[in-house]
Structure 1
């Protein structure tokens, strides 16, 4: 998978991306709403190898994609099939220092269009921690609608958390 926008390149991860991806996931603030703790020097290799292994989107395999701006990895996009016919879920994490420049919006919009057009998916969804206001705003900016708010439905990092589900159909694209 390879997607090019006005400012960004979205492509599969390569070995040389490891240190830049580590910078994203080594940030405690960035990882506060994710399902895992921040990466450490001790576990970064194992975590990054999983991203490299996720190189083809199929019913049984997710894909992890690097978002590059001026040849630097600034984000990580993930896509996986949910088990519901022609439905995928997207996840995204970006370098905190690039916030507010529209990179997340640009890359997620491009990814969703690509999934609808090239993979023929019926539905794209995102499930997120309800406290993650930046992620909520991103979903709204890319045209997704809030479809559900589950109260204390997920145990994560020693606490019950609320989840919000956003969704979009191919017919929702502008």
Structure 2
């Protein structure tokens, strides 16, 4: 299922840049992966065919075979009687028109008038993709909820186990995610799936088993939550997360040991350091220690800054960095910062990097608000923050003791809704 999720993300990113045909092709792959996930769950993971398929020793089953196998599931049969799955598949047959396996008329060398996206506006093409996106997600959700119907029911697992993660069969569709289910399925379909769940023998047994367990005392729940957060913190140093955000000219990525010299060089430039927290010169030893420390942490830890290198794709040079910190006292908000080597300033690189950083943060962490601050005399940074759509929310007079002087601070911010409306013309994924 994770492969389908990543394919959905890829489709969104591709379409966002106007590659509508490729975005639809990627949607087709996401749909197939999502349906296969349910198919193999019904077949059973102990099935020898499934094991061979995982090892690429078995061909992927044909669509008709998959549909026939899905309809052997009783819950899917019941749902199919009221909402025929054929209708869902027929709606999504449009996705097959954008691959060459459907014949010459649907290929690049076929009827150009049929396939020419230049005949339609970007808005129309995006609406076509967005409609298909919603229908794909809806079908995959329906199939998985029918196979695992307990996921459609709202149940307080925390009072029984202290954490969703400690539930022996808990997935990711509980609690607040119920609202997302309504958004994608509609209340009527969700109500029917929940009705099926309440009549599903296995689900009823699971609920009875859950109800037979006593509720945990609040003190024990708090202890479990604390230990879980502590474990997450320990895991940070074990398996650092890899980030690679492509922009037209840049690559935003994790720092590497090979960045040491470039990093030390631009941090040692007095003009670059003028409005930054460090002093010059900035030695290679300091750069090495800083980069090594980054390799022991993960992004998104509350209250901790995480730095990303900015690489120029055309040359492979590391030309600057940007950073973010999700606020310790509010996980819905974050602060960002940025630095660029002097020779690469005034070329639009910083604007490009911060635009993509904002998009990454709003999309990945579902933040409500992102803020940034700079010295009131740092006109370049002020103009950059305004270019990416952040508004000035305050000018604080002599508010910060900085490098032996009281200086003015300018604070900027942008809300999630504002970002998607003003700088991101397409609906959220």
**Smaller-chain TM-score bracket:** over 0.9
Give the corresponding residue for 2:302: 59
Give the corresponding residue for 1:11: 253
The secondary structure found in structure 2 opposite 1:17 is helix
The partner residue of 1:73 within 284, 300, 318 is 318
1:130-158 CA distances to partner (integer Å, 9 max, x unpaired)? 11111001101111000011111110111
Query: Deviation of residue 2 (structure 1)?
Result: 1.8
Q: How does 1:11-30 map to 2 (within 5 A)?
A: 11-30=253-272
Give the corresponding residue for 1:43: 286
**Length, aligned pairs only:** 174
The secondary structure found in structure 1 opposite 2:305 is strand
User: Separation in 1 of the partners of 2:396 and 2:326?
Assistant: 21
Q: Structure 2, unaligned stretches of length 5 or more?
A: 1-242, 424-429
Give the corresponding residue for 2:361: 115
**Bigger CA drift: 71-80 or 42-51?**
42-51
The secondary structure found in structure 1 opposite 2:306 is strand
Instruction: Confirm or deny that 1:149 pairs with 2:391.
Output: no
Q: Structure 1, unaligned stretches of length 5 or more?
A: none
Which structure features the higher share of helix residues? 2
Q: Are the equivalent residues in 1 in contact too, given 2:261–2:284 (CA < 8 A)?
A: no
User: Separation in 2 of the partners of 1:95 and 1:123?
Assistant: 28
User: Separation in 1 of the partners of 2:297 and 2:384?
Assistant: 24
User: Separation in 2 of the partners of 1:51 and 1:30?
Assistant: 21
The secondary structure found in structure 1 opposite 2:279 is coil
1:112-133 CA distances to partner (integer Å, 9 max, x unpaired)? 0111011101111101111111
Q: Are the equivalent residues in 2 in contact too, given 1:54–1:64 (CA < 8 A)?
A: no
Output the aligned Cα RMSD.
1.5
User: Separation in 2 of the partners of 1:171 and 1:87?
Assistant: 13
1:62-98 CA distances to partner (integer Å, 9 max, x unpaired)? 2110010031111111100223341100000001101
User: Separation in 2 of the partners of 1:119 and 1:112?
Assistant: 10
User: Separation in 1 of the partners of 2:298 and 2:266?
Assistant: 19
Give the corresponding residue for 1:103: 349
Q: Which has the higher contact order (CA 8 A, sep 6+)?
A: 1
Q: Are the equivalent residues in 2 in contact too, given 1:54–1:61 (CA < 8 A)?
A: no
User: Separation in 2 of the partners of 1:134 and 1:55?
Assistant: 30
Question: TM-score, structure 2 length as denominator?
Answer: 0.39
User: Separation in 2 of the partners of 1:6 and 1:151?
Assistant: 38
Q: Are the equivalent residues in 1 in contact too, given 2:255–2:291 (CA < 8 A)?
A: no
The secondary structure found in structure 2 opposite 1:43 is helix
User: Separation in 2 of the partners of 1:60 and 1:81?
Assistant: 6
User: Separation in 1 of the partners of 2:346 and 2:353?
Assistant: 13
Which structure features the higher share of strand residues? 1
Higher Rg: 2
Question: TM-score, structure 1 length as denominator?
Answer: 0.93
Instruction: Decide whether aligned partners of structure 1 residues 50 and 154 sit closer, same or farther in structure 2, where only a CA change above 3 A counts.
Output: farther
1:35-71 CA distances to partner (integer Å, 9 max, x unpaired)? 2212135533334434444542221432110010031
Q: Are the equivalent residues in 1 in contact too, given 2:302–2:331 (CA < 8 A)?
A: no
